[in-house]
Amino acid sequence: MTNFNLWILALLCATMTLVSSCQSEIMPSLTVTYVSGDGSKHEMDVFYNECYLDISKPTILYFHGGSWVSGSRRKIHQRYREPMLRQLIEKGFIVFSVDYRLVGLGRGYMEGAVSDCRDALSFVLKNADNLGVDTSRIGFWGSSAGAHLAMMTAFADSIASRHVKFIVDDFGPVDIHGMSLAVPAWGRELVSDMIFNLGSKNLQKFDSLISVYSPINYDTQIPVLIFHGEDDNVVNISQSQMLHEHLPNNSHFITFPGNAHGLKNLDSLQLRQYVQSFENFMDTVLDVGYGGIQAFGVDEMAAK
């Protein structure tokens, strides 16, 4: 490729970035449907930079929060996540924002939610060539309950653990068994058959299963970047501290003062810290830069 063609490519990418920055919300490049183990169909919004159609791209699957009972893939557009999404696209990543079965009577159980997240990863792996996914550079990103599902998917499944190279955990609960013990026994028994497919209210089985679905009970070599607000009264910051201490050699822990659950009050400096920390973490764990413009050897020109 000539220097002139490289310059045209860089100019085109810069122009597309400028146009996209004028939009209040990034529109997905496409929406795909995957089928979960129970035969139900769920959708993923797919975001990527049109400049990089012909290369395999580093990939992130995002799992939304909502206490396992609410929310949708569109949560990726809320608050700090939208500018992070924009930055990932500009860096040449392909991002999947995943819908999964919600927990509750008549809808599904926590086992199903985790299974759906695994099926979403399987779909991406099976269709990697068509989607432009670099299967050697896949990571998970989740918020709150979505971070819990991301960790459970990667930590407890041998296939997922081989393919997931990193996890970004936004204030996710990791010891949900310990959290549940703060609820009286009658309360845990009341919701036991709503959360897990027990067939009946059974506190003993509930306590056993909720331990299985607590990420803190797993060891992993997958690098984890943890973000948490210091004033979180939904998922106490001690949850992230516990995970960081459990994974001392492969976790990074960043806190934000003045922020409660959801990091709703990030100021401009804190947002910049979030985005930069996210980028630096990926650059380290992937050890190949971000792809995109850098892959074409024109990063210096783009910076000008």
Q: How much is the average pLDDT of 117-133?
A: 96
DSSP string, 196-230: S--SS--HHHHHHHHHHT-GGG----S-EEEEEET
Q: Give the burial string for 83-112 (b: 16+ CB within 10 Å, else e).
A: bbbbebbbbbbbbbbbbbbbbeeeebbbbb
Residue type, 101: R
Structure confidence at residue 7 (pLDDT):
41
Residue 19, Cβ density class (10 Å: 0-12 exposed, 13-18 middle, ≥19 buried): exposed
Mean pLDDT, the chain, rounded, equals 86
* Confidence tier at 43 by pLDDT (50, 70, 90): very high
Residue of higher predicted confidence among 214 and 18:
214
Residue 235 maps to a domain: yes
- 198 in any annotated domain: no
Residue 183 maps to a domain:
no
Report if residue 208 sits inside a domain: no
pLDDT at residue 27, as a whole number = 95
In a domain, 185, yes or no: no
181, part of any domain: no
pLDDT > 90 fraction of the chain, expressed in percent and rounded: 72
Q: Quick one: angle between helices 3-21 and 81-90, nearest 10? A: 170
Residue 150 identity:
A
HSE-up of residue 110 (Cα within 13 Å, Cβ side):
25
User: 105 pLDDT band (50/70/90 cuts)?
Assistant: low
Note whether residue 154 is domain-resident. Answer: yes
Instruction: Tell me the mean pLDDT in the region 279-294.
Output: 67
Q: With left for phi above 0 and alpha for psi between -120 and 50, is residue 64 left, alpha or beta?
A: beta
pLDDT tens readout for residues 218-273: 999 999 999 999 999 999 999 999 999 999 999 999 999 999 999 999 999 999 99
CATH of the domain at 95: 3.40.50.1820
Position 85 in a domain: yes
The residue range of the domain holding 235 is 3-175+214-303
Residue 89 scores a pLDDT above 90 = yes
Q: How many independent structural domains does the chain possess?
A: 1
